[in-house]
Amino acid sequence: MTGSTKYIFVTGGVTSSLGKGIISASLAKLLQARGFTVTIQKLDPYINVDPGTLNPYEHGECFVTEDGAETDLDLGHYERFLDVPTSQANNVTTGRIYQNVISKERRGEYLGKTVQVIPHITDEIKRNIQALGRKGIYDFVITEVGGTVGDIESLPYVEAIRQLKWEKGRDCLTIHLTLLPYLRTSGELKTKPTQHSVKELLSLGVQPDVLVCRTEHGMQKGMKEKIALFCNVEPQAVIESRDADTIYDVPLLMQEEGLDEVVLRKLGIESFPEVDLTAWKDFLRRYKEPKAEVSIGLVGKYVELQDAYKSIKEALEHAGAANETKVHIKWVHSEKLNAKNVAKQLAGLSGILVAPGFGHRGIEGKIEAIKYARENKVPFFGICLGMQCAVIEYGRHVLGYTDANSTEMNADTAHPVIALMEEQKAVADKGGTMRLGAYPCKLGEGSLALKVYGRKDITERHRHRYEFNNSYLESYQKAGMVASGINPKGKLVEIVEIKDHPWFIGVQFHPEYRSTVARPHALFVGFVQAAVKAAVPKGEKAEA
Ligand code: GLN
């Protein structure tokens, strides 16, 4: 597209958790499918500088970008939908905005002025929004504002949007996402909360251009017109967003509702190519019409909160579709697993994935699960802490190092088979100080990893402080656990596998961050394929 970058803002009203991230990603997908270049950004109104220090119970998974930014899990959706990497610039928090402003103030850059929310904080917000546009590569920058309009902490963001709309006129557009609650007693959807939410936005000086209304039921006749009348939008700019079977249906549902066309016309773009979603629809067909089914156990300590493993769950879905297989995930609580119940808990599973994590809680259960997978030749996939636990398990039960451990869990172990990386030893701050982002890795000749990837040189994203302790490498290799992926520079062990097993891989990195609808990750595809091969006949299913 020629001309200036267009800015689309997505705000939320009525309640949180309406799925702004999925709506933003779906709109972006539709624009991309019309040949435009798009990026999506998330502004988070909390004070943490990034979500890296947040407990998963707070905001779910922390998503890591190529450039090593620890970001909101919505960036995972953006990448999975668009198949385009995001970066630090795609996630900005209030903490970071203030940190930048305060650093400038300390450097004396405000030349003696009083530093205030308006204009200094709002200027910094606008600078961060436009930084993506200034790259000159995007036709559209979609900016999703976290939280709900009316929250005290989102006020500066809405004010920044107001100012940008004023400055940029037709190059800006605001989409407001609301909820139409359904009252069962009267059998009706109600529009009042949407009206109030738009009034709230208007009181802050922002007139939404498009309303996307989340609803469990189809909108009644005349409802779009009614909302349009009360909220100063055109009826065609009132978009119904029904609950979908899968998030991957949402781009198609939004296309049916004409969301992308309304957006393009309102931004003054009158002629545009047709949407081409051939590959996307092919993915959906394979996803929805599976020819086989497998049950895979996901062993972790946050299983009651599946958002903590969002990217892993989605990567398994992508790999399922690639194999035309329905993947049933059995969420297994690592804290509740022990030597006594492990066989019963994991019986009937065709694959066992041990999840990443921090701290000692649940790690003994993870080790039991790995022992079970190794001894019973069940396909095993360990990610980050899951890989480290596989090394500990092998040390304890094959090499006879009975107290083998990671120094993260036991600083005094006689066998620190996993230990703090050299460069981590002097690190005191917690935020942004892990080994983060993409690093290269070389795969070993004749390894399963090489077979799965089909190439020798790979790069993958990391997020950890501990590593395989190389002083044990020789003993492990002799005993049958080989390092099949090595970081060429630091010689860090990135992948371990065992030979005498149908599929046993532990990776120090996070392949789940790289899996997208367009390109399911090879390791997940290989793992699901191995699980299909190992699938237990019906009737021998694991206990629910
Ligand atoms: N806690 C481990 C480390 O810091 C593993 C981290 C992870 O699983 N992401 O090395």
Burial class (CB in 10 A: 0-12, 13-18, 19+), 543: exposed
392 lines ligand 1 (CB under 6 A): no
| Contact in structure between 325 and 532 (CB atoms under 8 Å) | yes
Please choose, from the candidates 131, 196, 120, 187, the residue with its C-alpha nearest in 3D space to the C-alpha of residue 160. Answer: 120
- Compute the chain's Rg from CA coordinates: 25
Question: Which residue type, as a one-letter code, is found at position 9?
Answer: F
Q: How confident is the model at residue 15 (pLDDT cuts 50, 70, 90)?
A: confident
385 lines ligand 1 (CB under 6 A): yes
What is the predicted pLDDT for the residue at 422?
A: 82
Find tokens 């992308």 and name the residue. 260
| Contact in structure between 148 and 176 (CB atoms under 8 Å) | no
What is the predicted pLDDT for the residue at 544?
A: 45
From ligand 1's centre to the CA of 463, what distance in Å?
Answer: 7
CA-proximal residue: ligand 1, atom 6 (nearest): 464
What is the predicted pLDDT for the residue at 304?
A: 83
356 lines ligand 1 (CB under 6 A): yes
What is the predicted pLDDT for the residue at 540?
A: 52
From ligand 1's centre to the CA of 269, what distance in Å?
Answer: 47
Ligand 1 nearest-atom number relative to CA 463: 9
DSSP, collapsed to helix, strand or coil, labels residue 408 as coil
Dihedral over Cα of 11, 15, 16, 21: its sign: negative
* Segment 117-120 long-range contacts (CB within 8 Å, at least 24 positions apart): 117/156, 117/159, 118/156, 118/159
Which strand (E) or helix (H) includes residue 329?
strand 325-333
367 lines ligand 1 (CB under 6 A): no
pLDDT tens for 24-79 read 999 999 999 999 999 999 999 999 999 999 888 888 999 999 999 999 999 999 99
- The helix-helix angle for 250-257 and 259-266 (nearest 10°) equals 60
CA-proximal residue: ligand 1, atom 1 (nearest): 358
Supply the DSSP string of 71-109, one letter for each residue: E-THHHHHHHHH-----GGGEEEHHHHHHHHHHHHHTTT
What is the predicted pLDDT for the residue at 241?
A: 96
Which strand (E) or helix (H) includes residue 173?
strand 172-179
408 lines ligand 1 (CB under 6 A): yes
- The helix-helix angle for 250-257 and 278-288 (nearest 10°) equals 130
From ligand 1's centre to the CA of 68, what distance in Å?
Answer: 15
Ligand 1 nearest-atom number relative to CA 386: 8
The Cα 76–Cα 210 span in angstroms is: 25
Told to judge if 384 belongs to the known catalytic residues of this protein, a careful annotator would answer yes
pLDDT tens for 125-156 read 999 999 998 888 999 999 999 999 999 999 99
**pLDDT reading at 542 higher than 60:** no
Told to judge if 510 belongs to the known catalytic residues of this protein, a careful annotator would answer yes
463 lines ligand 1 (CB under 6 A): yes
Angstrom distances, CA of residue 141 to CA of 28, 87, 158, 173: 9, 14, 16, 11
The Cα 413–Cα 415 span in angstroms is: 5
Catalytic residue among 384, 415, 464, 494: 384
Which two structure tokens, joined as six digits, stand for 309? Answer: 């493993």
Please choose, from the candidates 150, 52, 36, 32, the residue with its C-alpha nearest in 3D space to the C-alpha of residue 95. Answer: 52
What is the predicted pLDDT for the residue at 220?
A: 87
Which two structure tokens, joined as six digits, stand for 428? Answer: 């005191």
pLDDT tens for 88-108 read 999 999 999 999 999 999 999
| Contact in structure between 251 and 219 (CB atoms under 8 Å) | no
**pLDDT reading at 479 higher than 90:** yes
pLDDT tens for 164-178 read 999 999 999 999 999
What is the predicted pLDDT for the residue at 423?
A: 83
What is the predicted pLDDT for the residue at 333?
A: 96
Ligand 1 nearest-atom number relative to CA 467: 10
Q: How confident is the model at residue 486 (pLDDT cuts 50, 70, 90)?
A: very high
**pLDDT reading at 2 higher than 60:** no
Find tokens 């230990």 and name the residue. 419
CA-proximal residue: ligand 1, atom 3 (nearest): 464
> If DSSP states are collapsed to H, E and C, what string results for 32-63?
HHCCCCEEEEEEECCCCCCHHHCCHHHHCCCE
User: Mean per-residue pLDDT for 359-366?
Assistant: 95
Site to substitute for ligand 1 among 63, 406, 465, most atoms within 8 A of C-beta: 465
Told to judge if 521 belongs to the known catalytic residues of this protein, a careful annotator would answer no
Mean pLDDT of the chain: 94
Which two structure tokens, joined as six digits, stand for 5? Answer: 């970058």
From ligand 1's centre to the CA of 466, what distance in Å?
Answer: 6
**pLDDT reading at 282 higher than 80:** yes
Number of CB atoms found within 10 A of residue 478's CB:
10
Q: How confident is the model at residue 512 (pLDDT cuts 50, 70, 90)?
A: very high
Cβ neighbours for 240, distance < 8 A, ≥ 6 positions apart: 213, 215, 218, 219, 224, 257
pLDDT tens for 291-340 read 999 999 999 999 888 899 999 999 999 999 999 999 999 999 999 999 99
486 lines ligand 1 (CB under 6 A): no
362 lines ligand 1 (CB under 6 A): no
From ligand 1's centre to the CA of 443, what distance in Å?
Answer: 21
Q: How confident is the model at residue 195 (pLDDT cuts 50, 70, 90)?
A: very high
Judged by average pLDDT, the poorest of 133-137, 159-163, 269-273, 347-351 is: 133-137
Higher pLDDT, 438 or 432: 438
CA-proximal residue: ligand 1, atom 8 (nearest): 356
User: Mean per-residue pLDDT for 18-29?
Assistant: 96
506 lines ligand 1 (CB under 6 A): no
CA-proximal residue: ligand 1, atom 5 (nearest): 385
The Cα 110–Cα 89 span in angstroms is: 23
19 lines ligand 1 (CB under 6 A): no
From ligand 1's centre to the CA of 180, what distance in Å?
Answer: 42
Ligand 1 nearest-atom number relative to CA 510: 9
Site to substitute for ligand 1 among 358, 407, 424, most atoms within 8 A of C-beta: 358
214 lines ligand 1 (CB under 6 A): no
